[in-house]
Amino acid sequence: MKAPQRLRSLLEEGFIDAVVRQLMSGKEAMVYVVRCGDETRCAKVYKEATQRSFRQAVDYTENRKVKNTRQARAMAKGTRFGREAQEAAWQSAEVDALHRLAAAGVRVPKPFNFHDGVLLMELVVDADGAAAPRLNDVTLTAEAARAHHATLIGEVVRMLCAGVIHGDLSEFNILLAADGPVIIDLPQAVDAAGNNHAQRMLLRDVGNLRDFFGRFDPALLTTQFGAEIWSLYTRGVLQPTTPLTGRFDAQQGPVDVDGVLRVVGDARDEEEARLLRMRTGG
């Protein structure tokens, strides 16, 4: 196929040799299958901020580190330089998260290069060597649902132990590779210790997994892995090998009305975003 404008510089500079086809178009990026020598990889071309439909970006970028104080001031003021710096930081966040998580043993695509707003990474494939499907496009048996859910809960724990929360984890950004689930789409990943919304995002990520796999195995709908994991994390005892039960006894205390309202609002926004993804396939 004819190379899109955003990929032409990578062709000219030899990062890729050919563009095979478009793989998908999502809310934040276009993904293409490309050839790099004898290997087939994928190229993720990030959309401009004005074209993205990703919501509540301020929650995800809270307390992210920037290169210097000048950049931080410009981002806070919303100057042109600041907007460009913020966009660059948003894109590079996924690269940083992929390297960090791969080093921690989390199942994510292997990153190769990041150049001119394009991320080159491993193409995740199924048993036939074709591009792996998203979980949203797969029908599972109850047994397979339990197995994949357990695997992904383990990946969430491993991510959290590495200090990272996905922040938008659902069946739409998990691929089912030949050897099991692989987590993708990480530009909104947050620092578990440095973001005030970390607990809410972790609970939502785990809740999304529960709700999806619970369609195939209703017994999963009663589990409380999110609250259990966060409790172990905040007590400093969570490890990748920590046994989990899926049960959690909440301590009684005063009700945080503002917090409840935020959760309700976030749930509403997440449902609207989910419906949008179903309509657009992104």
Please enumerate in sequence order all residues whose Cβ is within 8 A of that of 112, keeping only pairs 6 or more positions apart, or say none.
36, 41, 120, 121, 122
Predicted TM-score of the model (pTM): 0.79
pLDDT score for 119: 94
Structure confidence at residue 86 (pLDDT): 63
Alpha helices in 186-236 (DSSP H): 198-213, 225-234
Q: How confident is the model at residue 245 (pLDDT cuts 50, 70, 90)?
A: very high
| 3-state secondary structure (DSSP) of residue 61 | helix
Residue 128 a catalytic site member = no
Q: Which of 17, 96, 185, 249 is catalytic?
A: 185
Whether 21 shows a pLDDT value over 70: the answer reads yes
What pLDDT does 48 receive?
72
For residue 72, the model assigns a pLDDT of 46
CA dihedral 20, 21, 24, 30 (to 10 degrees): 70
Nearest to 46 by CA among 75, 26, 64: 26
Q: Mean of the pLDDT values across residues 47-74?
A: 53
Q: Can you tell me which residue has the tokens 């992929």?
A: 98
pLDDT at 39: 95
Highest mean pLDDT among 65-69, 85-89, 196-200: 196-200
196 or 215, which is more confident?
Answer: 215
Mean pLDDT calculated for residue range 270-275? 59
- 65 and 47 in contact (C-beta within 8 Å)? no
- Set 96, 168, 205, 266: catalytic member: 168
- For 80-122, write each residue's pLDDT tens digit: 555 556 666 677 788 899 999 999 999 999 999 998 889 999 9
Mean confidence (pLDDT) of the chain = 84
pLDDT at residue 260, as a whole number:
46
Query: Which range (39-43, 53-57, 132-136, 170-174) has the least confidence?
Result: 53-57
125 DSSP assignment: B
Q: Render pLDDT for 216-244 as a digit per residue (tens, 0 to 9).
A: 999 999 999 999 999 999 999 999 999 99
- Strand ranges, E, within 37-185: 39-46, 111-115, 118-122, 164-165, 174-177, 180-183
* pLDDT at 75 (0 to 100): 45
Q: Does the pLDDT value for residue 74 go beyond 60?
A: no
Percent of the chain with pLDDT over 70: 74
| pLDDT at site 26 | 77
Delineate the domains of the chain, giving CATH numbers in brackets: 5-275 (1.10.510)
What are the b/e assignments for 215-242, b being 16+ CB within 10 Å?
Answer: ebbeebeebbbbbbbbbbbeeeebeeee
Determine the pLDDT at residue 194.
Answer: 86
Residue 27 has pLDDT above 60, yes or no: yes
Respond yes or no: is residue 96 known to be catalytic.
no
pLDDT at residue 125, as a whole number:
96
25 pLDDT tier (thresholds 50, 70, 90): confident
